Amino acid sequence: MNYEKEVELLKRYSLSYYKGEPEVSDEEFDTRLNAVRAYETENGLTSAITSDILSDHTDGFPKEKHMSPMYSMKDVFDMEEVSKWFAKTPTAELTVEPKYDGLSLNLLYDKGKLISAITRGDGDEGDDVTENAKVIRNIPNKIKYKELIEIRGEVMLSKTTLRELNEQRKKDGIKLLANTRNAASGGLKNKSSVVSASRRLEFFPWGVGASRMRFKSQTGAMGFIGLQGFAKPFFSLLVNSEKELFDIYNSVIDDRKKLDYDIDGLAVKINDMSLWDDLGVAGKYPNYSFAFKFPNIEYETVVESIIYQVGKTGAITPVAIVAPVFIDGVTVTRSTLHNRDEIERLGLRIGDTVTIVRSGEVIPKILNVVKDKRPKGTKKIVFPTSCPTCESDLENDVCVNDQCPDIMKFKLLHFVSRNRFNIKGMGEQIIESLVMTGALHNYQSIFNLTKADLQEANVSAPAKLLQKIEQAKSVTLDRFIGSIGIPNIGLRAGKAIADAFGLDFLSAPLEALRETPGIGNIMGCDFVDYMLRHRDDVMKLMSVVDIKIPEESSDELDGVTFVISGSTPIPRNDLKKYIETRGGKVASSVTSKTSLLIYGDGAGSKLAKAREMGVNLMNTKDMTEGQILEEIDTSKLTPF
């Protein structure tokens, strides 16, 4: 296993999932996640499966803690896994409810009024989307119960609503919404409540969190929630055996297409809540429940043609253009084929009838060819010998031209991303335009852009983007190394190399790299090979940026507690690292022990609470990076 690469992939897949643009199915994500965990256990590694992999956090929303942890249910994909759960769990009555396919939300009520609405996040804290939740038509602003209570559920969009929204978007020439889950996620996590209201979102509860009322059972809790004016589940059944559960599972699989809402499995819980504490929690997953996931939905269509796309590594990916097929509110016209081997494995020809699978709501993939429906006149698929974008000769179905516009676009997107150089506002469309005009052709060229370059690429606010680029020039060495596209060298490996070699990393010998913890032979070889080919380019880039070497840890901020809220000029992770290396503590919520709230746009309820409590404030809106760090360094001298 290429451990570093797998961790980076998990982070990317998690981010794309919560942005509403999943790249892989839930099943593939769980398989990769479990493989990484097993590798860490076998090799005695500190787990890299941190909250940023298992979180729905989105930039631009204030973070708030849940009053009680908001756990996830463990996904179970087959009957063998279900049998194992039954074998190690006490015999008890089980509730069976829909496993909603939306975005989880925690509603806090006190004195009968809606106080806040927080997404699941990492289970401990999530994004504050209260204002958007208030426009969801079936979330009551007031309930009968007057004590404090957290009511938890899923934000959904019906298939009918998706179809109607897409019909209007098509008339308006706007990009269509991909599916109900993506549309719900994008509607809830939007800066405008007007957009949230226009999505006609709905909320379906599935449980309670913190509460002054003690519930004896899941059915009792759901009955109570219903009495407060919330929607009832599509179905709620009780079972006492595996057989009864399997019978319901098979019945719902057959009937789920009739529902106007997407569900992707059954939510199975022990009904008797007195057993929940005894059974406990394993990581983020309660032992008293599980999600019995449905298999992928299969459809038939016809392959009309094949197009070829260039991936970020230069690999050529064939994509099948298929006869339109309507899948749960979305008209599908293409299906991924991955590579030449997949075409040969399937025995696929143009004109074939194929079975495609929905696979977790990403672009469907072809499962198999329906050979008995093959008509006369099908055409053999001929793989290209040159790149479809730059026309360079391919080597083993890979474009090796570093200047290929498609490859360059992917490299630059990686370089400017949040955990690398963090150039906000430089998205895919802008980079693609700048590559096509010739203004961007390597990493260094980003920092040579002019206002005229940006205007030629139709950038709406060129002066603002140039300012963001200038601010991004300052970067730590580990981020620099992890940003420049060295195969298999991500942020974790970049830190290991930065710590071991400092600014001498360019000449790091292979033997020393092999002995560096977290690097080893494969990454060491990739690093040395990259430097042999790109050393001059890396040196040119180093000449136009300001590389910072992280300082040794100190205790100058010992006893000082900070809270960060909203968007700040310095990336949150960098700010947190700066404070912690000086002995300070970064907390997630404002309390009487908070020394200083560092805030920017979108600070929300944390800012209001800090003002109410008289906590010291630092507004970073018009401050430079240097001014922010200087004020942090002197904060211990300020009486709190």
Instruction: Judge if 104 and 121 occupy the same domain.
Output: yes
HSE-up (13 A, CA, CB side) for residue 403: 8
Q: What is the pLDDT of residue 578?
A: 80
Instruction: Judge if 208 and 286 occupy the same domain.
Output: yes
Residue 580 inside a domain? The answer is yes
Q: Which amino acid is at 22?
A: P
**Rounded CA separation 311/399 (Å):** 9
Instruction: Judge if 482 and 460 occupy the same domain.
Output: yes
What pLDDT digit, counting tens, does each position of 105-136 carry?
A: 999 999 999 999 999 988 888 889 999 999 99
Q: How confident is the model at residue 52 (pLDDT cuts 50, 70, 90)?
A: very low
- Environment class of residue 100 by beta-carbon count within 10 Å: exposed (0-12), middle (13-18) or buried (19+)? buried
Helix, strand and coil in the chain, % to nearest 5: 40, 25, 40
| pLDDT > 90 fraction of the chain, expressed in percent and rounded | 45
Residue 275 inside a domain? The answer is yes
Instruction: Judge if 181 and 308 occupy the same domain.
Output: no
Residue 58 inside a domain? The answer is no
Instruction: Judge if 359 and 237 occupy the same domain.
Output: no
More confident residue, 25 or 217: 217
What pLDDT digit, counting tens, does each position of 59-68 carry?
A: 567 888 899 9
Q: What is the pLDDT of residue 157?
A: 93
**Rounded CA separation 106/60 (Å):** 19
Instruction: Judge if 460 and 520 occupy the same domain.
Output: yes
Neighbour tally for 168: CB within 10 Å: 10
What pLDDT digit, counting tens, does each position of 11-34 carry?
A: 777 766 655 555 665 556 767 777
What pLDDT digit, counting tens, does each position of 176-207 carry?
A: 777 788 889 888 988 778 888 889 999 999 99
Count of the separate structural domains present in the chain: 5
HSE-up (13 A, CA, CB side) for residue 512: 13
Asked whether the predicted pLDDT for residue 637 surpasses 60, the reply is no
Residue 392 inside a domain? The answer is no
DSSP state of 363: S
CATH number for the domain harbouring residue 314: 2.40.50.140
Instruction: Judge if 485 and 603 occupy the same domain.
Output: no
Across residues 555-566, what is the average pLDDT?
A: 84
What pLDDT digit, counting tens, does each position of 494-543 carry?
A: 888 998 999 999 999 999 999 888 788 888 999 999 999 999 999 999 99
Across residues 360-374, what is the average pLDDT?
A: 79
CATH number for the domain harbouring residue 582: 3.40.50.10190
HSE-up (13 A, CA, CB side) for residue 168: 7
Instruction: Judge if 304 and 280 occupy the same domain.
Output: no
Q: Note if the pTM is more than 0.95.
A: no
Structure tokens at 216: 């004896």
Asked whether the predicted pLDDT for residue 359 surpasses 80, the reply is no
Choosing from 11, 99, 293, 411, the catalytic residue is: 99
| Three-class secondary structure of residue 355 per DSSP | strand
Residue 128 inside a domain? The answer is yes
Q: What is the pLDDT of residue 361?
A: 46
Structure tokens at 40: 């860490």
CATH number for the domain harbouring residue 256: 3.30.470.30
Residue 340 inside a domain? The answer is yes
What pLDDT digit, counting tens, does each position of 428-462 carry?
A: 889 989 998 989 999 999 999 999 999 998 888 89
Residue that is last in its domain, among 293, 325, 352:
293
Q: How confident is the model at residue 469 (pLDDT cuts 50, 70, 90)?
A: very high
Beta strands in 485-574 (DSSP E): 546-548, 561-565
What pLDDT digit, counting tens, does each position of 276-289 carry?
A: 988 888 877 899 99
Q: What is the pLDDT of residue 417?
A: 87
> Pick from 342, 365, 340: which is nearest to 354 by CA?
365
Q: Write phi, then psi, for 262 (nearest 5 degrees).
A: -85, 125
Residue 54 inside a domain? The answer is no
Tell me what the pLDDT averaged over the chain comes to.
86
Instruction: Judge if 305 and 268 occupy the same domain.
Output: no
Instruction: Judge if 500 and 360 occupy the same domain.
Output: no
Q: What is the pLDDT of residue 58?
A: 56
Asked whether the predicted pLDDT for residue 640 surpasses 50, the reply is no
Asked whether the predicted pLDDT for residue 639 surpasses 50, the reply is no
Q: How confident is the model at residue 51 (pLDDT cuts 50, 70, 90)?
A: very low
Instruction: Judge if 288 and 306 occupy the same domain.
Output: no
**Rounded CA separation 456/438 (Å):** 11
More confident residue, 397 or 19: 397
Residue 459 inside a domain? The answer is yes
**Rounded CA separation 331/163 (Å):** 10
Instruction: Judge if 515 and 586 occupy the same domain.
Output: no
What pLDDT digit, counting tens, does each position of 614-633 carry?
A: 888 888 887 777 678 777 87
**Rounded CA separation 478/473 (Å):** 14
Active site residue 99: yes
Q: What is the pLDDT of residue 180?
A: 85
CATH number for the domain harbouring residue 460: 1.10.150.20
> What is the secondary structure of 76-126 as a DSSP string?
E-SHHHHHHHHHHS----EEEEEEE-SEEEEEEEETTEEEEEEE-TTSSEE
Q: Which domain holds residue 327?
A: 298-380
Q: What is the pLDDT of residue 242?
A: 93
Element (H, E) at 636: none
Report whether 152 contacts 104 (CB < 8 A). yes
Q: What is the pLDDT of residue 190?
A: 82
